[in-house]
Amino acid sequence: MIQRRTLLLGSTLALPLAARAHHGWSSFDQTRPIWLEGRAAQVVWRNPHAELKLELPADPKLPADLASRAVPAQTAAVDGKALLAAAQLPKRRDKTWAVELAPLTRLQAWSVPEIQAGTTLAVLGFTFTDEKGDAVLRAEYLFLGGKAYGLRSSPA
C-alpha cells in the first residue's frame, strides 16, 4: 500500500514537469524562423521527441548560401524555401540552446542517424513567442552530415 501511494504521488508530481517539457506548435513564433548552428553537447534520444543541448560558437553567423539550400518536401504544408529566405539569428545571446526535434518514429521515417554528443549540426526552427524563460528551439529542419531533414511531418 505504501509503495502504491509513493508511485501515485511520484506520478502526480512528475505530470506537470512532463507537460511543461512537451510543447505544441502554438507556443512557438512560426513567423520568425531562427537558425542555430553548433555542437551537440547532450542528446536525449527518446519520445515524446528527441532533444539536444546545442552549444553555439562565440560569433554565430547565417550561412551566405542559406536561402539557396535544398530542403526536402514534407507531408505537411511547409514552405521550406521561404523559411530559409526569412531565417535569422536569435535575438537572445544564449550560448546553449535546448533543441526539440521530432518523435523517434518520424526521425526513423526520415532515416535520421542517432545524433551523438559532439556532433556538429544546424537547425532551423522557432523559439517561444514571448522569448522568456529558457532558450528553446523547436526544429522544423535539421541539417546533419550534408543532408537536410524535415521534422514537422513525414517525408512527402
Q: What is the CATH number of the domain that holds 45?
A: 2.40.50.140
The one-letter amino acid code at 128 reads F
- The answer to the question of residue 59 being in a domain is yes
Q: Give the CA distances from residue 41 to residues 56, 127, 130, in Å, rounded to whole numbers and listed in that order.
A: 10, 19, 25
Domain that holds residue 97: 24-150
Side-chain-side CA neighbours of 114 within 13 Å: the count stands at 6
In a domain, 1, yes or no: no
Q: Please report whether residue 74 resides in a domain.
A: yes
Spell out a b/e string for 9-29, using b for 16 or more CB atoms within 10 Å of the CB, else e.
Answer: eeeeeeeeeeeeeeeeeeebe
pLDDT beyond 90 at 110: yes
Domain membership of residue 5 (yes or no) is no
pLDDT at 1 over 60: no
Task: Record the pTM.
Answer: 0.82
Q: In this structure, is residue 11 part of a structural domain? A: no
Q: Strand 136-144 and strand 96-100: pairing?
A: parallel
Indicate the number of domains in the chain. 1
pLDDT at 121 over 90: yes
* Predicted pLDDT of residue 132: 72
